[in-house]
């Protein structure tokens, strides 16, 4: 981390710095877990922080300690604008391009506050003053733990903080499966367990908490919507707005759906296209050599990690699927 001493003094030597923590839109467990983990940590240092998310998030995250104090920008625009404008420090977690926080991006860019980036995605845009960044961390939650270590304050980690951080490490590594899981990841996870995180409870809160609708929707997608493109070792699911409505799908319900395609033997790339109300959202997951992030960036206004990326488009669902099918053949060498 650069300029740690300077950041420390901004946090600890001012009487009461005004601190905002934010993360990417539609936060997942790593985004919300890192935000709340940092919130609890700063509170232990005597620093009050306000977490503001650009949008809402899934119900499966609402068990996280401190969640009820989070402000959703969409429903608190005036109040949030004022807090952002007045802030001394803004922590930006689990994203590195201001576009990922929607309308909040312009406000954060214009704010007088110093910005602290803590993130593990490729190609940071560079809007920040302080940076704890590496793509070699499994998750932003792991980086928050590193930050606490760098601050020399590991003894301040309590069970609630540890639970938020453990949740993000667990989900971003798909339960310690992805290649991003390192010995350090396991050491951090072990430390969080020692501090009071309860692994099976967190697993249950996140993975065994779906609605009946969501489970039937997954079944429908797998039996009726899954297409296999054998020549490209690709699995594709396209979900229409009508289907989302029919199953009463809400924020968070489509999380994880893209992974089913990848679990098929011989499949190298799994793609999910969802007809959200304003635009079409795409998710890409690959097993080995297929560069999901470069593919998303080149064709679908997106990005992400090498094996897990996303993108978006204004095109109608059918047109977007056709265009995907047109560009895929030029990547065949990465799929074999
Ligand atoms: P998901 O498929 O779960 O929405 O996203 C997987 C990963 O892809 C995220 O962790 C994020 O890094 C990246 N990602 C998803 N959507 C976008 C997007 O629209 N733009 C960029 N740059 N990255 C995205
Ligand atoms: Mn993450």
CA angle, 213 then 75 then 172, to 5°: 55
Flag whether pLDDT at 315 surpasses 90: yes
Probe residue for ligand 1, chosen from 57, 260, 308, 310 as the CB with the greatest number of ligand atoms within 8 Å: 310
List all residues 6 or more positions away from 200 whose beta carbon is below 8 Å from its beta carbon.
none
Probe residue for ligand 1, chosen from 309, 312, 313 as the CB with the greatest number of ligand atoms within 8 Å: 309
Average pLDDT over residues 305-332: 96
Handedness of CA 169, 174, 175, 176 (dihedral sign): negative
Average pLDDT over residues 111-128: 95
Residues 244-254 have pLDDT tens digits of 999 999 888 99
Between the CA of 135 and the centroid of ligand 1 the distance, in Å, is: 14
> Which range has the worst mean pLDDT, 25-34, 82-91, 251-260?
251-260
* Category of 70 on φ-ψ map: left (φ > 0), alpha (ψ -120 to 50) or beta: beta
Between the CA of 139 and the centroid of ligand 1 the distance, in Å, is: 14
Residues 205-239 have pLDDT tens digits of 999 988 999 999 999 999 999 999 999 999 999 99
Q: Tell me the domains of the chain and their CATH numbers.
A: 4-207 (3.90.1640.10), 212-334 (3.10.310.30)
256 or 52, which is more confident = 52
Could you tell me which of 172, 229, 305 has the C-alpha nearest to residue 296?
305
Could you tell me which of 287, 153, 275 has the C-alpha nearest to residue 233?
287
DSSP string for residues in 280-320: EEEEEEESSS--HHHHHHHHSS-EE-SSEEEEEESS-HHHH
Atom of ligand 1 nearest to the CA of 309: 8
Residue 102 CA: which ligand is closest?
1
Report the pLDDT value the prediction gives residue 51, as an integer from 0 to 100. Answer: 98
Flag whether pLDDT at 288 surpasses 90: no
- For tokens 């969501």, the residue is 214
Q: Is 173 helix (H, G, I), strand (E, B) or coil?
A: coil
Q: Which residue's C-alpha comes closest to atom 11 of ligand 1?
A: 304
What average pLDDT does the chain have?
A: 96
- Please report which confidence band the pLDDT of residue 111 belongs to, taking 50, 70 and 90 as the band edges: very high
Ramachandran angles phi, psi of 117, nearest 5°: -100, 125
| Chain-centroid distance, C-alpha 307 | 14
Residues 152-209 have pLDDT tens digits of 999 999 999 999 999 999 999 989 988 899 999 999 999 999 999 999 999 999 999 8
Between the CA of 252 and the centroid of ligand 1 the distance, in Å, is: 14
Residues 262-277 have pLDDT tens digits of 999 999 999 999 999 8
Residue 302 Cβ inside 6 Å of ligand 1? The answer reads yes
Between the CA of 87 and the centroid of ligand 1 the distance, in Å, is: 28
C-alpha distance across the termini of the chain, in Å: 39
Residue 168 CA: which ligand is closest?
2
Instruction: State the pTM of this model.
Output: 0.89
Q: Which residue's C-alpha comes closest to atom 7 of ligand 1?
A: 309
Residue 119 Cβ inside 6 Å of ligand 1? The answer reads no
| Chain-centroid distance, C-alpha 201 | 21
Distance CA 45, CA 96 (A): 26
Could you tell me which of 209, 119, 201, 205 has the C-alpha nearest to residue 159?
201
């Amino acid at each position: 981390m650069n300029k740690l001493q300077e950041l420390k003094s901004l946090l600890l030597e001012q009487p009461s710095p005004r601190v905002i923590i934010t993360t990417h839109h539609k936060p997942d467990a790593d985004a919300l877990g890192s935000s709340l983990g940092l919130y609890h940590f700063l509170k232990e240092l005597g620093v009050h922080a306000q977490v503001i998310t650009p949008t809402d998030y899934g119900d499966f995250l609402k068990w996280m300690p401190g969640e009820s104090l989070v402000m959703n920008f969409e429903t608190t625009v005036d109040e949030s604008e004022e807090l952002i404008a007045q802030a001394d420090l803004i922590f930006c977690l689990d994203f590195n391009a201001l576009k990922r926080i929607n309308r909040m991006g312009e406000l954060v860019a214009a704010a007088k506050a110093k910005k602290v980036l803590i993130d593990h995605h490729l190609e940071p845009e560079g809007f920040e003053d302080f940076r704890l960044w590496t793509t070699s961390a499994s998750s932003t939650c792991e980086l928050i733990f590193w930050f606490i270590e760098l601050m020399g304050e590991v003894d301040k980690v309590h069970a609630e903080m540890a639970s938020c951080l453990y949740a993000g490490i667990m989900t971003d590594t798909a339960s310690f499966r992805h290649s991003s899981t390192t010995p350090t990841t396991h050491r951090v996870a072990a430390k969080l367990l020692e501090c009071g995180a309860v692994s099976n409870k967190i697993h249950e809160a996140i993975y065994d908490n779906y609605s009946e609708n969501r489970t039937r929707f997954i079944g429908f997608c797998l039996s009726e919507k899954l297409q296999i493109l054998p020549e490209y070792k690709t699995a594709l699911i396209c979900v229409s707005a009508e289907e989302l409505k029919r199953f009463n799908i809400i924020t968070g319900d489509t999380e994880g759906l893209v992974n089913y395609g990848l679990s098929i033997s011989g499949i190298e790339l799994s793609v999910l296209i969802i007809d959200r109300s304003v635009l079409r959202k795409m998710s890409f997951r690959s097993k080995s050599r297929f560069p999901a992030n470069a593919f998303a960036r080149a064709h679908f206004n997106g990005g992400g990690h090498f094996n897990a990326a996303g993108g978006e488009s204004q095109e109608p669902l059918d047109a977007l699927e056709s265009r995907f099918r047109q560009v895929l053949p030029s990547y065949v060498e990465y799929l074999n």
